[in-house]
Amino acid sequence: MTKAREIMTGGAECIGEHQSLEEAARMMRDLGVGALPICGENDRLQGMVTDRDIVRECVAAGTDPNQVKARELGGGKPVTIGADDTIEGAIATMTEHQVRRLPVIDGHDLVGMLTQADIARSMPEDRAGELVELISYE
C-alpha cells in the first residue's frame, strides 16, 4: 500500500504563530500554495491557515491582516496524517474533516503536505473523480 511520505509534497514551510496574516498571504503567494502550517516553539505544528481563512475571516470582516497573528486565525489542533499512514487513511481523514490538505508528520516533525492533488495524481484516472467528490465542500 502506498504511504503518505511516498506521494506528499516535501519541505513544507511554516508561518510562525506570531507572524501576521499579511506575512502569511505573502508567503502563500511566493510559494504558490493556498495553505500554510502554523508553527510555534521548536517548530511544533500549531494549526493551519488558508488563503480562504484570511479572506473570509479577516479581509471580509474589515480587519487589517497586518494586525492579526496567524495563531489567532488558525489555532487549534490541526488535522494531520502520519508519514507512514496509507493513502486510504489519508482519504478517510480528508473526507471526515472535509479538508483538501493535510500536514504530514513524522513523530512531532512536520515533513510535508499531502494534498488532494497529490493523491489524485497517484490514483488511476477513473478513481480520481471519486476522490474530488468525496472531499469537495462548499
Taking the mean position of all CA atoms in its chain, how far away is CA 24? Answer: 13
Q: pLDDT tens digit string along 11-30? A: 889 999 999 999 999 999 99
Q: Residue 66 is which amino acid?
A: N
> pTM value?
0.82
DSSP tag of 43: G
Three-state DSSP state, 20: strand
User: Which domains occur in the chain, in start order?
Assistant: 4-135 (3.10.580.10)
The angle that helices 125-135 and 87-97 make with each other, rounded to 10 degrees, is 30
The pLDDT value given to residue 99 = 87
The pLDDT value given to residue 84 = 96
Mean pLDDT of 74-87: 86
Phi-psi region for residue 62, left (φ > 0), alpha (ψ -120 to 50) or beta? left
Pick the closest to residue 45 from 7, 13, 21, 22 (CA basis).
13
> Rounded to an integer, what distance in angstroms lies between the CA atom of residue 15 and that of residue 69?
10
Q: pLDDT tens digit string along 52-78? A: 999 999 999 999 999 999 999 876 678
